Chain A
Amino acid sequence: MRDVVIAGVGIHPFGRFDYGYRELGAYAAEDCLRDAGLTADEVDLVLVANVGAEMAKGHNVVNRLRHTGKPIVNVEAACASSGSALALGAALISSGAHRSVLCIGVEKAPRGFIGASGFETWQIETGLGVNPLYFAIQAGELLRDTEATEADLAEVSVKNHRHAVHNPNAMYRKEISREEVLESREVCPPLRLLLLCAPNEGAAAALLMHSDEARRRGITHPVRLTAAALVSRGPDDWFVPAPAFPVDRTSLSERAAQLAYEQAGIGPADVDIVECQDTDAASELLAYRELGLCAPGEEAALLRSGDTALGGRRPVNVSGGLLSKGEPLGASGLGQVHELVTQLRGHAGARQVEGARVGLGHVMGAGHNSCVVVVQR
């Protein structure tokens, strides 16, 4: 994909706050517009990613900024909502329909289990309509089929929490020990509380622009968005909320990653830094395989090598990941993009990945959808 640049990024920290989603979203949008040096009325289109708010939510967010008269479209695809907004925005710019698209992701998730994930009534009533159950099944398979152990799962969480100490936008900024993780409350074995991310609140934004427009405006060193690949359920995929899957099932994330690599004209070896959907610790290890960072079965070896930690060859989730930032569903993908762009600009401070030129972001959502984006300097 050519001609699409990220002219600005913005974020409201992830956590718990005493104001609403409209304020969170408007904050991130204004932060982004300032970064790009634009005002809201100069944007051709606003896409707002959100899962759980109300009708016309994006309109309510933008109303906090300016009454521009320009189109506003709400985008929802569970945890891949902001990835979907990015893919849509990029396509509209590539096609020439718009010169600039502001993508805002925002969420104010209630505490506790995420409800309304698309389960049928019979699943909910019989206790099968619960997301961590699905992640626990994947984790169980990973422990059964590969060398990965529960200690490796804990190490993913330890690593991401260590990274988050340096990220002012993360909810949990305290190091935790392997013992603390392994002694935390069991939720769905083998997953424990500190092996799972917490749904929370936050917002992030990115201003997409045609490269000609960026040049005209004197945005001299923009980060390029070279891939935004979006896939939904194929014949042999499985994810929340499906009650059954084929014995030889396939991976949505793997397909999204392959498509993204094709769009960007790169391979996994070219990637310097990754932000992936660590909904739970096992999901991060699975992503190593699905994103092509290692061969199947070598997930634990890659983790143990230190390559995916800050200072390693190809760090994963230096932002702290969802395990430390928490997961504001509609904002998580744009939060990844904020981190990747900050890294590629060399502005990440103590968590800076030196010389990062190619970044990859990955989200995966209920209802079977996955989005992989590639940003390049």
Chain B
Amino acid sequence: MTSLEPADLLAWPELFLTAEPGAPTALLAGGCTGCRRTAFPRAARCPACGAATRPTELRGPAVLDTCTAVLSTPPGALVEAPYEVGVARFPAARICVIGLLTERIEPGTMVDVVVHEPYPGGRTFGFRPVGAADRDLAPGPRTTPSAERLL
């Protein structure tokens, strides 16, 4: 086990790789060298077993498991309601992450992790249907690949 310095606990870990809004990105997670669990956000030591973690990245495609929405703006939020929220499942890492959706997405849809601008100048991660970037550029049927076809 590598030692954890008390100072390691002072910094809040970065959540995702920064890029321009709309660009694919990765969530910055920690993979445990002991129990193999994945933690998001990343922690220097595995919260489950205490072993050291190594940086891992959670990238799409992930499966959108459930979705909901917030219909009135909560106190302190800079994003304005209504907005969509969903749970993306990363099968290989065996972890589910709650995040904003770039649009209304049906459960079971495959999603990418992208940089999202939820309010002017704001940057966070979001989940977007796989292929949506191409779809938005080219006219045609608005379909997104389903989990069944991609997994």
- The reply to whether A188 and B70 form a contact with Cβ atoms under 8 Å apart is yes
Known: A235-B37, A244-B98, A247-B95. Is A137-B77 also a contact (CB below 8 A)? no
Shortest A190–chain B CB gap in Å is: 8
Q: Does B49 contact A (CB under 8 A)?
A: yes
Complexed CA–CA distance, A141 and B107 (Å): 10
A241 CB, nearest partner CB in chain B, Å:
10
Residues on B with C-beta less than 8 A from A120 are: 12
Which of B3-11, B61-69, B137-145 has 4 or more CB atoms under 8 Å from chain A? B61-69
Contact across chains for B48 and A141 when beta carbons are under 8 A apart: no
Question: Do B83 and A187 have beta carbons less than 8 Å apart?
Answer: no
Q: Tell whether B114 is near chain A: CB-to-CB under 8 Å.
A: no
B74 in contact with A126 (CB, 8 Å): no
The one of A122, A137, A244 in contact with B40, judged by C-beta atoms closer than 8 angstroms, is A244
Closest to A235 in B: B48
Are A141's CB and B79's CB within 8 A? no
The contact size tier of chain A is 20 to 34
* B 78-120 binary contact with A (CB < 8 Å = 1; else 0): 1101010101010100111111100000010000000000100
- Hey, which chain B residues are within 8 Å of A187, CB to CB? 71-72
Q: Is A17 an interface residue (CB 8 A)?
A: no
For chain B, the count of residues having a C-beta within 8 Å of the partner chain is 42
Question: How long is the Cα–Cα vector from A130 to B75 in the complex, in angstroms?
Answer: 9
In the complex, A272→B95 CA distance in Å? 38
Chain B, 10-46, CB within 8 A of any chain A CB: 12, 15, 35, 37, 39-41
The residue on A at minimum CB distance from B85 is A133
If over half of B's interface residues share one DSSP class (helix, strand or loop), that class is named, otherwise mixed; here it is: loop
Question: Which among A188, A191, A243, A244 has the highest number of chain B CB atoms within 10 Å?
Answer: A244
On whether A125 and B95 interact (CB within 8 A), knowing A137-B68, A140-B66, A141-B66, the answer reads no
Bits for A97-137, please: 1 = Cβ < 8 Å to B, else 0: 00000000000000011010000101011111110010011
Nearest CB on A from B120, distance (A): 13
Bound form: Cα–Cα A186–B69 in Å: 9
B66, B83, B118, most chain A CB atoms within 10 A: B66
A113, A190, A191, A243: which contacts B98 (Cβ < 8 A)? Answer: A243
Known: A133-B85, A243-B97, A244-B40. A140 touches B68 (CB 8 A): yes
Residues of B within 8 A of A236 (CB): 48
B71 contacts A186, C-beta separation under 8 Å: yes
Given the complex of chains A and B, what is the CA–CA distance between A125 and B123 in angstroms?
A: 10
| Residue numbers in A under 8 Å from B98 (CB-CB) | 128, 133, 137, 243-244
Q: Tell yes or no: B131 within 8 A of A by CB.
A: no
Query: Is A248's beta carbon under 8 Å from chain B?
Result: yes
* Cβ-closest chain A residue relative to B87: A137
Residue A246 at the chain B interface, CB threshold 8 Å: yes
Report yes or no: B122 in contact with A125, Cβ–Cβ below 8 A. Answer: yes
In the assembled complex, B56 has its CB within 8 A of some CB on chain A: no
B55: Cβ under 8 A from any A Cβ: no
CB of A6, distance to nearest CB on chain B (Å): 37
Q: Tell me which of B12, B41, B100 contacts A128 (CB under 8 A).
A: B100
Residues of B within 8 A of A67 (CB): none
Question: Counting CB contacts under 8 A, is A144 at the interface?
Answer: yes
Q: Could you tell me which residues of chain A, from 144 to 195, have a CB within 8 Å of some CB in chain B? A: 144, 185-191
For residue A127, which residues in chain B have a CB less than 8 angstroms away from its CB? Answer: 70, 73-74, 77-79, 81, 83, 85, 100, 118
Closest B-chain residue to A126, C-beta based? Answer: B124
B142 → A minimal CB distance (Å): 21
Q: Are A245 and B75 in contact (CB under 8 A)?
A: no
Residues of B within 8 A of A188 (CB): 68-71, 85
B69's partner among A128, A144, A189 (CB-CB below 8 A) is A189
- Distance between Cα atoms of A246 and B39 in the complex (Å): 9
Chain B residues with CB under 8 Å of chain A are: 12, 15, 35, 37, 39-41, 47-49, 65-79, 81, 83, 85, 87, 89, 91, 94-100, 107, 118, 122, 124
Q: 18 new A-B pairs (CB below 8 Å) besides A133-B98, A244-B98?
A: A115-B76, A122-B15, A122-B124, A126-B124, A127-B73, A128-B98, A128-B100, A129-B76, A136-B68, A137-B66, A140-B66, A140-B67, A141-B65, A188-B68, A188-B70, A188-B85, A244-B96, A247-B94
**Which 5 pairs from chain A and chain B are nearest by CB?**
A235-B48, A140-B66, A136-B68, A127-B79, A130-B74
